[in-house]
Amino acid sequence: MILADIEVRNSEIEGNGVFLRQDVERGRLLIIYTYGISELIHKDYHDEVCRDIENSPCPDIVDSSVRYVHDWFIYDNYTRHNTSFGGRETDFVNHSFNPSMIYHCGLCFAARDLKAGEELTVDYRYFLSEDIMGFTDMKSGREIKGVSGRKAFISSLKKLNELFKDDPLYNEED
């Protein structure tokens, strides 16, 4: 679910992308990856069905899975729910090594102040399993390879901590 005014259009990164139609302030929650009808699976099963992408018995997992937290992934069971990849705007969020959003446990926050017309991007390394073959970033030629669930959790938590440290609520006592 995207929580900003956006449009899907051609991207210089790859294929289509998601672009803002409004300015957005740093730290704003922009995307909640719930897929509406989600399935939760463990990394071991995820990796098993994603090792051979072309011949996977579970194309829904290959097409839509993202790391949720630690060793757990969420995916949209397209086949069961009669939908298809490309049916949601979140299907078109592209990768960047300098992303416009910080991904943490299914949530995406604006990494900086963003202007209307900017593309919403995330670092796919936080989406992917570290034990599955990566792929090449079309823009830089660098390999995109997943990191461990623990590293993804801690790294994104540190980025969020930095993002919100100047917020007046940050130092308030509970």
> What confidence category does residue 82 fall into, taking pLDDT thresholds of 50, 70 and 90?
very low
Indicate the pairing of strand 66-69 with strand 38-42. Answer: unpaired
Going along the chain from its start, the domains and CATH numbers come out as: 6-164 (2.170.270.10)
- C-alpha 35/C-alpha 159 separation (Å) is 24
- C-alpha 111/C-alpha 163 separation (Å) is 7
Determine whether 79 is exposed, middle or buried from the number of CB atoms within 10 Å of its CB (0-12, 13-18, 19+).
exposed
Q: What are the DSSP E strand ranges found in 43-157?
A: 66-69, 72-76, 94-95, 101-104, 107-110, 119-122, 135-136, 143-144
The structure tokens listed for 98 are: 């300098």
How confident is the model over 16-50, as pLDDT tens digits?
999 999 999 999 999 887 655 567 778 888 888 88
Residue 115, pLDDT score: 98
Residue 25, pLDDT score: 96
Residue 85, pLDDT score: 46
- Residue 91's φ and ψ, nearest 5 degrees, are -65, -15
Which one is predicted more confidently, 74 or 171?
Answer: 171
How confident is the model over 120-144, as pLDDT tens digits?
999 999 988 888 888 888 888 999 9
All residues at 6 or more sequence positions from 42 whose CB lies less than 8 Å from its CB, including other chains: 71, 72, 73
- C-alpha 95/C-alpha 134 separation (Å) is 13
* pTM for the full predicted model: 0.78
Q: What are the DSSP E strand ranges found in 78-117?
A: 94-95, 101-104, 107-110
